[in-house]
Amino acid sequence: MFFNSIDFAIFFPIVFILYWIVAKNLTLRNILILASSYVFYGWWDWRFLFLIIISSLVDFIVGQKIYKTDSKKKKKGYLLISLIVNLGFLVYFKYTNFFIDTFVESFRLFGQELEVSTLNIILPVGISFYTFQTLSYTIDIYRKQLKPTKDILAFFSFVAFFPQLVAGPIERASHLLPQFYKTYKFNYNLVKSGLLLMAFGLFKKMVIADRAAIIVNQVYNNPADYHGYETILATVLFAFQIYCDFSGYSDIAIGIARTMGFDLMKNFDSPYFSKSITEFWRRWHISLSTWFRDYVYIPLGGSRNGKYRTYANLFIVFVVSGLWHGAAITFVIWGAIHGVIIVIEKALTKVRKKIFTSKKHILNYIIALPFTFFIVCFAWIFFRANSFNDAMMIINNSLKKETKSIFDLGLEKHELILLFSTILLLLLFEIFHKKYNVAKILSKLYLPFRWSFYMLIVFTIIIFGIYGENTIKEFIYFQF
C-alpha cells in the first residue's frame, strides 16, 4: 500500500477514526496499530508477514534471555541467534542472486563458464529497514543499554509500526518502544502539524519527484541515446528526485505518526546545502547513518586505534552501506565513492580548518558547497544506473556534445518550468526554514490566511501532481 494511493486515502482515515474514537485504552490501541500495520504490509504480499512475525517473536524471546542470564557465553549465543535469523532472512531474500552472479562472473574471468542460474526470489518490501530496527533492540540489550520489554503486544507494534515500516526512519527501541506504553490524548495542534507534514511530503513526492522521474527514466533507461547536458540534467534531476521521493516518504511517515501522538526521529536536514560529504551524511538518511555509526563503525573500533584503522573503518562502513542499498556492484561503487571522499576529508581536517576558518566563510559557498553537490551527483550515477556498463556510458556521454533538445526528454515546456520552479521553491523554503519556524509563523496567521495556505498545498498536489497508470507510484526506497 503506497502513501500516495487511493487505497491509503481510504485506509488511513479509517485507522485514524478508530484510533481516536473507538480504541480508548492502551491495549485496544496497540491491537489496532498492530492489526493495521499487518494489513498495510500484507497489502503487497500477505505471505511475507510471516517474516516480520518470526523476526519479532525471535527478538522478543532473545531479548528476555540475554537480560536474564549472567553468562557472557550464553549472552553471545542468544545474540547470535538473533543475528542469524534476521540477517539470514535479509541475505537470502536480498543477496542470494547477487552472490550467485558474482560467483559465476569470477569463474568467467578465468575462462570458465558455469551453468548456474539465479533463483526466482521476490524481495520483501522494507526487509532492510525492519531488520535493522529489530536488531538494534537485541544488540542494545546485549550492551546493557536497554532493558527488554515484557509487553509482547507493544514490541510487535514497535517492529511493525506501519508509518515507518517499509522505508524508515529506522527507529531505536529506546526512543520508539516506550511510546507504545502511553495512552495519548487527542491534540489538535499535533494532528494539524502531522497532516501539514503529510501534505508537504506528498507535494515533494507527487509534484517534484514523480515529475523529475520522467526525464530521469527517459535518459537512464536509454543511456546510449543521450549526451552532454541531457545526461547532466538527468543526473541533477535524479538528485532531486531521490531526495524529494525519500524525504517526502519520511515526512509522510513522521506526519502520520504525529497525528496518532507518536514522535519519529528526523531523517533529513537539507542535505544539499552540505559543504562536505561528511556533513552530507549528517543530514542525509540520518537514521541509517547513525545506525551504521553505532552498530558497525564503533564495533569495528571507530577512531580508537589510530588514523589508518579509522580510515579503514570509515571506508568499510560506506561499502557495507552501499551493499545495504542494493545487491549490485553499482551500489558498492556508490558507497565506495562516499567512503573514499570521507577518508580524504578526514585526512585533510587540519588543512580544511585553515582554509575554511568558519562555517560562514565565503569559500564554503563558492567552492565547498558546489563541489560537495558535484561529488554527490557523480556518485548518484552509479546508484541510479541499471548496470555498471550503463553508468560508464552515462559518464562518457556526458562529455560529448548533446544531440537533442531539452524538450525531447519527456516533458513539455510548461512542465519543465513547473519542475524547475518547484525545485527552486523547495530550496528557498529550506533556507527560510533554517532561520524561522514555519509552523509557528503559520499558527500566528489569521484563520482565513492559514487555511488558504493549507488549501493551496492541497490543490497544488491535486492539480500538479503526476497521475496515471504509467507513472511511478512506488517510493524509490521500497526496493531496499
Same structural domain for residues 32 and 152? yes
Same structural domain for residues 161 and 80? yes
Same structural domain for residues 407 and 369? yes
Residue 480 lies in a domain: no
Q: What's the pLDDT score for residue 445?
A: 74
Same structural domain for residues 124 and 242? no
Count of domains in the chain? 2
Q: Which residues of 209-247 are buried (b: 16+ CB within 10 A; e: fewer)?
A: bbbbbbbbbbbbeebeebbeebbbbbbbbbbbbbbbbbb
* Residues catalogued as catalytic: 325
Q: What's the pLDDT score for residue 94?
A: 82
Closest of 376, 250, 399, 384 to residue 328, by C-alpha: 384
Query: How many Å apart are CA 240 and CA 269, to the nearest integer?
Result: 14
Same structural domain for residues 80 and 107? yes
Q: What's the pLDDT score for residue 78?
A: 94
Same structural domain for residues 211 and 101? no
Residue 326 lies in a domain: no
Tell me the average confidence (pLDDT) per consecutive run of 10 residues in the chain, 480 residues long: 87 94 87 95 86 94 93 93 92 76 59 60 80 93 93 95 89 94 89 92 94 93 89 95 94 95 94 93 94 92 87 94 88 95 88 64 77 96 94 91 75 90 93 80 76 83 77 70
Query: How many Å apart are CA 208 and CA 202, to the nearest integer?
Result: 9
Same structural domain for residues 138 and 254? no
* Number of neighbouring beta carbons within 10 Å of residue 109: 7
Same structural domain for residues 22 and 70? yes
Residue 336 lies in a domain: no
**Domain range holding 268?**
190-275+356-464
Beta-carbon-side half-sphere exposure of residue 234 (alpha carbons within 13 Å) = 32
Same structural domain for residues 255 and 107? no
Q: What's the pLDDT score for residue 16?
A: 95
Residue 97 lies in a domain: yes
Final residue in a domain of this structure, among 133, 159, 182 = 182
Q: What is the pTM of this model?
A: 0.91
